[in-house]
Amino acid sequence: MNKTELVDAMADSADLSKAAAGRALDGMISAVTAALQNGDQVTIVGFGSFSVRQRAARTGRNPQTGAAIQIKASNNPAFKAGKALKDAVN
């Protein structure tokens, strides 16, 4: 499912116009992004939680030459599914 199909499904299930559903989805994405940028965790009960995980600096290998390279530390977004979502999928 891509973003357009998700907007269509949201519009049908919430009895909204596609434009309103698109704005709602964009608003949700920007709110989650802003919260993660601030270091906060976003939890939607029954669905799951979004958080930021830190990856430590490490040594990697260039696959073409085999030379060692330094990979710097980074922050990565993560999603952990909630119990209700896990139960619905299984």
Query: HSE on the CB side for 12, CA within 13 Å?
Result: 6
Domain ranges of the chain: 1-39, 41-90
**Per-residue model confidence (pLDDT) at position 90:** 92
- As a whole number of Å, the CA-based R_g of the chain is 18
**Per-residue model confidence (pLDDT) at position 68:** 95
Mean pLDDT across the stretch 25-54?
96
Amino acid at the residue 85: L
**Per-residue model confidence (pLDDT) at position 44:** 96
**Per-residue model confidence (pLDDT) at position 72:** 96
Average pLDDT, the chain: 96
**Per-residue model confidence (pLDDT) at position 16:** 93
Mean pLDDT across the stretch 8-35?
96
CATH architecture, domain 41-90: Irregular (4.10)
**Per-residue model confidence (pLDDT) at position 1:** 94
